[in-house]
Amino acid sequence: MPERKNPSETPFGKEWVMFGQHPGLKTEDLLAFEKTRPHDVQVLPGISIGASLFSDFVSGNNYSANTPDDLVEHGQMPETLVAINKQAVDLFLSNKPVVVRSSATDERGGSGIYDSTFFVPTGNQAEDLARLTEAEREVYRSYFREEGRLFRDGQFSQEGMGLLIHPVIGNQYGNHFMPAFSGVFTMINGEMVMKAVPGLGTKAVALNLDNIMRG
């Protein structure tokens, strides 16, 4: 097994690493937010895998708007994305969890519509590559689920889904690794509004999504 990487030797979580074209709205919003830095809030940089790779995935597997989502988890990854993933896993730190997030081209205002998937890199490239690929397929699959179709009002885009990979900032709590707090950050009329909950922010995202759907 390769030696564990030194945190000072990887840019992961310190600077943006961009692959492909059309990073998706979540990534674009973070990049724009980083430039303004309201209230000195720091943006955690990540690895962006653009929606152009999703287009390669869709066309290479002959998927369409009517493809059942359970077929997508077995889809063949394009060679370009396989090569990108090999570069990405070399940036991960052993035993430091990462999250593979959706960054769809239609996701602004739709937090929680598409999946995010967590896993812990081992430092073994083959194992980490398999876990990353599995996580990416899960996010891609969520684009084909009924919830996604309803959110898009039936629309389908071959360049519909970018990926955003972040290190998870947190601490060990028994057998679990998680942040002390997490949630949803929003700017309303120039004022900062945050919904925070202990641990992972799934409940805060659900509350935000519920408010969006009602509004």
pLDDT at 212 exceeding the cut of 70? no
Coil/strand/helix, residue 187: strand
Tens-place pLDDT, residues 146-181? 999 998 898 999 999 999 999 987 776 666 666 666
Which pLDDT value is given to residue 208?
Answer: 38
Record the pTM: 0.82
CA nearest to 168, candidates 177, 160, 159: 177
Percent of the chain residues topping a pLDDT of 90: 54
Report residue 159: phi and psi, to 5°. Answer: -110, 50
